[in-house]
Structures are given as structure tokens and as C-alpha cells.
Amino acid sequence: MDVKARMDELVSLINYHAKKYYTEDAPEISDYEYDMLNRELTELEEKYPEFKSPQSPSLRVGGAILKGFDQVRHEVPLDSMQDAFSFDEIRDFDRRVRQTFTDVEYVVELKIDGLSVALEYIDGKFVKGATRGDGAVGEDITENLKTVKSIPLTLFAPYPHRLIVRGEVYMPRSSFESLNREREENGENLFANPRNAAAGSLRQLDSRVTAKRNLDIFVFNLQLSDGKMPETHTESLDYMKSLGFCVSPYYNRFRSVEDVIEEIKRLGEKREGLEFDIDGAVVKVNNLSQREELGSTVKFPRWQIAFKYPPEKKETVLEDIQINVGRTGVLTPLAILKPVAVAGSVVSKATLHNKDFIAEKDIRIGDTVIIQKAGDVIPAIDSVVVSRRKEGSVPFTMPEYCPVCGQKVAQDADSPFVRCINAECPAQLVRNIVHFVSKDGMDIDGCGVQQIERFISCKLISSAADLYTLDFNKIREMERYGEKSAENLKNAIEKSKSNNLDRLVYALGIREVGAKAAKLLCERFKTLDALIEADENSLLSVGEIGEVTTRNIIEFFKNPKNLELISDFRKAGLNFTYTSDRVSDIFSGMTFVLTGTLPTYTREEASQIIESLGGKTSSSVSKKTTFVLAGEEAGSKLEKAKQLGIKIIDEEEFRAMTGNTQQ
């Protein structure tokens, strides 16, 4: 067998079937057969790496790990668009265009809510991909874009020598929901919406992470071609589709502005049923020579405009208000709604935040309410239709007793929150243990929400301390637990015993004591016993520990149940002594604020270096700030530093300041 010929044939076959699946929606083989082609290619590449193509479909799984992103200057600027929020603004746009051309044809497309990128091809091979950035300069994210399966790595002939196209990378709604479920199970922060998730995924330094995010793309503009250029935008879309690109869906041509407006309305009605988010519709002059003559203003092209859809609102009935109890005992009211479809999904619940929010909007059970999704993602009650309120309805009041444990609740003195103060409340148990094992806490792998709930339901644990006396024979017998996973969990729990003290202090779940505050406390008191005995004055002497946090610490260590838990940790052999990772005091007394993207360090890495050299980091710029460490795309913090006359340094200066002490 001619190995290289077979590998080239496999690449060609896989690209052909990818086009049939992603571009034409007309697959000719099963998913299994497609997977087998990929597997054969991967196995051959492992045996004969010298024959592997730089455009191999196997690159879809990622693998490159970067230290940062290089800058890319766009040869053709990636312009932004003028926004319109009313149909009269669309009519005004049409009048301006017709001042130059009386005969004009428009194309109306969906405005995909994602991240704009430019893709460059040389001789049909994908060679570079970059973010929009500021329109003139973006970031090189080629390796991450190679993992997007609908971006062709090799174009179909005939193609020009050089080609640049523009598209919008997005995360399908189903992928977004799956990703957030996974992050919730792992105790990680949720993405606010698919656009943020897509942007965060494309800026991963490890392309293997990007590959797992199931991103997609629609290409919508031909930026540059050294071949024959089409005469119209719709011809360019058809041409790009023939090359293998997924192009903008639902594009149509119109000569009347009123027909354009009707199409915008029609596309808006499709919004709910789409598998991707849109935030508007784009109106473009179809003829490319007319576009060139219309030109651009300083900010926007004169030949296109984006109509932005308002947040979708729906009317429904508030059937009940359910009270949930969180990890810190806060009682959170949750609206139980008559199910209603809003912005692409069925909404049956919405958070009501706290009693002040309910009182401000005068929300009552049985009310007809208006629902919208904040950022088109998070369900929220916008308002109450008071005119349809039933007679006899009464204002809602928070319960006096915890709905889970029955103990009396207390009103926070410094916030609108009502709280269950019973440390043994079952509703808090799962969340307390999840917090205890979290990455910033004791960092116990293999112990997520589902596992903890199972351990509790099987009566294997009733507190975080019980993790250290788990019966692993019983765990091995549990469904979906084998010898290997049980052994891994056992090792992770054993390893956590030697964690530095600041992890345990954070894991205890004292209100207002985050990972940073825990470290500051441990730097000052050195042992858990000393922290337990600390009085108000000594706690207040610790930088950034205020009166509220001090009260919370003292109250926590007064509680007999908490002291009993700590005693159990002591018996289990957990480390109660702090070992400082400080290697020098050269930054002692200095406060750094980090902003923007640094070339090689992550913010976490730079913060660790600062703290190891005796300095502090802060999230906001003030007169107390010593230095602002600024990277690319630094925002308002940089401007404030300039106004206050704070010294601004870059990573190179920062490295020089650390000298030979940098770890």
C-alpha cells in the first residue's frame, strides 16, 4: 500500500463528507462510517508522522498549547455596523442610499450573536485565523479555529491563490446548555450566554479545550480574493458555499424598503426556533460596486445597517413562590411560572433575588407577569400586569422559619437577605460539602455534586469530616463506581490532608472569607488554633479584613457545631499549620492592579508571583494602588490609572522588577 497516497485519499474523503454534512446538510455516509475514516487517518498519522498534512482533519481535536496570542493586522478592516432600533431608522438608511442610487437591491440576513473572525487561505489551505479585535488589529487564534469542524481546512476547487473571508463563530444553544450543566456539576462559574461561552472558548491557550466546546461558524463576507470577484453579495455567498464554507442562513433579496422591513419581522418570528442566538437582522446593499461607491463614514460602512431586536417578552402566570436555601443559609425566592416559550426555550422558573426585589415590583402569587431573558439567557420577571390582578391577592412575605429545617430565620443587618442560621440545616449540607471539596478549597477530585448527594442519600456521610472516614468497600459496590475510581477518590482525599492551612480555612465556608482573605488570615495567625482564639482587634489588624468579615469569623468559631467539625478534622489528621509561599518581601506594602491580557502570564500566575514577593493584588484602581500591570485590551482601569497618576507597567517591566526571585 502506498501510505502517503492513502493518507491523502482519506483527507480528501473526510473533507468531502464534512462538506456534505456541514455545508450542504446532505450526508452520504453514516456517522459511524465517517468516524472510521477519521480513525484510520489518525492511526496512519501516528505511524507515519512525516506524511501528516498541515491541514489534516485530525487537527480538529486540538493539541497546541500557546503562551499567548500574537497580534494580526487585518489587511481588510473588519468594520462594525450602525445599529437601528426602529423601522423608521431603516427607512432613513434607505433614503440615504437612494440619494446616490435610485435603483438598489438589498440583502437581509440574520445577525448571528457570536464572535467575528477572519479566515485566510493560501492555495486553498487554511493558514491563519484571527479575532476582529478593534477592527484593525486582532489576535491570532489559528490553532483554536482549526478545531471548529465547520471551518474547512482545505477548500474545494476552483479556488483563488489567496482568499480572506469573514464569519461569526457561535456556540449552538444545545452545546451551551450542555456546557453549563457540566460546569455546574463541577462547581465552576456558569457562562452568562452562548456568545460569552464562544468568546471564552476561542481564547483558550490550550486548543484541546476549544475542541470540546462544539463551536460552529457562519461565513458572511468575502473580504479579499485575488481571483475574479463576484458582482453581488449573494453571488459571493453562493461562491463561498461552493468552496466548502457554511454561509449565512436565510438570506433573501428585496428592492422595496417596506419588503425589507417585513423580512426583518419574519426573521424575528423565527428567533425562538433557531439552534443559535441572533440579536438582529442585517440589511446590506447587494451590488458590490455600489457598496464601493457608497463607501464608509469614520465609524461605519454606508452600505449596511443592523436592526437590533428588542429582548423578547412573554406574558404568563406566577403560580407559586418557592423558597430555596443556599449554602450560606440564604433563603432565595424562586418564581414558579406557567411554562412559556421565551427566546428559544421554555421558561417555568425565574429567580426573584430577595425580598426587596419582590417588594419593589409588588410581585404576588397568582399575578400575571411579563417575562424576559436578561441577555437573552437568564429568565427574569420584568413587570406585573396589575390591571389583571385577582381580588383578594396579598403581598408576599418571606417565611419566619426555614422551610427545610423549621428553625427560625434571621434578617441580615447589612443586606436584604433572610438567612437560616442553623448550621445543621440539611439544605445546606450538600452545598457546604461541595464548597469544601472545591478547587480553591480542599481540591478533592472525583467528588462532585452528584457523588456527594449519593454519599448523603446512602448515609455514608453527614458532614465534610465524614469524607475522611469513608467506607471505600461500600463505595466500590455502588453503581458507576469501580475499583479505579474508588481508589482515585481515596488518594485525592488522603492527599488533601496535607493541604496548606489557607485551603482549609477557605473550605470551612465562613461568610465573606474567600480564598484571598483565607491566605491573609493564615499569613497573620499561622495556625488554625491561633485563628480560632483571635479577638476582634487582632482580626481587624489584618489588611482587607473589615468589620463585617471580622464579626462573621468570630461568630463562626463561637458555634459549638463548627468547633466539633474542626475537632473531627483534627482527628482525621488534616494540616492545621500554615507554610508561607513567600520567597521575598521586595513587594511588601505594594498593591498591584492587573488589567488586560498579558503576553505570557495568566492573571492568576502574575498574582501568585506578586503575593510570593510580599505584595497584594486588588481588583480596582485607587490612590492606594502602587502599580497597574497592563496587557493587551486593557480597559477602564488603565484610564483611571492615568487620571490618578498611578505608574503603569507592562510584563517586561514586571519581570525586571521580580529580579532573580521569580519562581
For the segment 492-511, what is each residue's pLDDT rounded down to a tens digit? Answer: 999 999 999 999 999 998 88
* pLDDT at residue 663, as a whole number: 45
Q: Which of the four CATH numbers 3.10.129.10, 1.10.3720.10, 1.10.150.20, 3.40.50.10800 does domain 426-496 have?
A: 1.10.150.20
Query: pLDDT for 541-580, tens place per residue?
Result: 887 788 888 988 998 898 888 899 999 999 999 999 998 8
Strands (E), 492-539: none
* HSE-up (13 A, CA, CB side) for residue 316: 24
- The b/e string for 299-311 (b: 16+ C-beta within 10 A; e otherwise) is eebbbbbbbebee
Query: Of 52, 111, 373, 616, which is the active-site residue?
Result: 111
Residue 29 confidence (pLDDT) above 80 = no
pLDDT of residue 24: 60
Q: Which of these CATH numbers, 3.40.50.2000, 3.30.470.30, 2.60.40.1220, 1.10.10.10, describes 72-308?
A: 3.30.470.30
Residue 481: pLDDT over 90 = no
Report the DSSP beta bridge partners of residue 616. 591
Q: In what order do the strands lie in the sheet with 83-84?
A: 83-84, 304-308, 278-285, 106-112, 252-254
pTM of the predicted protein model: 0.52
Judge whether residue 320 has pLDDT over 50. yes
Band of residue 31 on the pLDDT scale cut at 50, 70, 90: low
Cβ atoms of 295 and 302 within 8 Å: the answer is yes
User: Is the predicted pLDDT of residue 519 greater than 60, yes or no?
Assistant: yes
CA atoms within 13 A on the CB side of 650: 6
> 501-572, what's its fold?
DNA polymerase; domain 1 (1.10.150)
Residue scoring higher pLDDT (1 or 333): 333
- More reliable by pLDDT, 243 or 137: 243
* pLDDT value, residue 277: 85
Arithmetic mean of pLDDT over the chain: 86
CA-closest candidate to residue 97, choices 294, 355, 263: 294
Alpha carbon 104 to chain centroid distance? 41
Residue % of the chain over a pLDDT of 70: 93
Q: How far apart are CA 410 and CA 644, in angstroms?
A: 43
The pLDDT, as a whole number, for residue 458 is 87
Per-residue model confidence as pLDDT tens digits over 611-644: 888 888 887 788 889 999 988 777 778 888 888 8
| Whether residue 162 has pLDDT greater than 90 | yes
Q: Does position 145 have pLDDT exceeding 90, yes or no?
A: yes
Question: What gap in Å lies between CA 131 and CA 199, rounded to an integer?
Answer: 10
Pick the closest to residue 281 from 262, 300, 256 (CA basis).
262
Residues facing 283 on adjacent strands:
108, 305
Torsion of CA 29, 31, 36, 37, to 10 degrees: 50
Look at residue 22 in the predicted model and tell me its pLDDT.
56
Residue 637's CB is within 10 A of a number of other CB atoms, namely 20
Q: What is the pLDDT of residue 88?
A: 94
> What's the fold here for domain 591-661?
Rossmann fold (3.40.50)
| pLDDT at residue 408 tops 60 | yes
**CATH number assigned to the domain with residue range 3-61, chosen from the 4 options 3.40.1160.10, 1.10.287.610, 3.90.10.10, 1.10.10.1100:** 1.10.287.610
The pLDDT-based confidence of 432 (bands split at 50, 70, 90) is confident
State yes or no: is 146 an active-site residue. Answer: no
Minimal CA–CA distance to 40: which of 55, 56, 54? 56
More confident residue, 152 or 63: 152
Q: What is the pLDDT of residue 597?
A: 81
Domain boundaries, the chain: 3-61, 72-308, 313-388, 426-496, 501-572, 591-661
Is the pLDDT at 322 greater than 90? The verdict is yes
Q: Is the pLDDT of residue 57 over 90?
A: no
Give CA–CA dist 281/258, Å, rounded: 15
Measure the CA angle with vertex 444, ends 441 and 448; round to 5°.
Answer: 100
Average pLDDT score over residue span 368-385: 79
What's the confidence (pLDDT) of residue 46? 80
Question: Which is higher by pLDDT, 341 or 98?
Answer: 98
Confidence class for position 56, pLDDT limits 50, 70, 90: confident
The band of 343, judged by pLDDT with boundaries at 50, 70 and 90, is low
CATH of span 313-388: 2.40.50.140
Q: What are phi and psi of 589, to 5 degrees?
A: 80, 0
Domains 313-388 and 501-572 share a fold: no
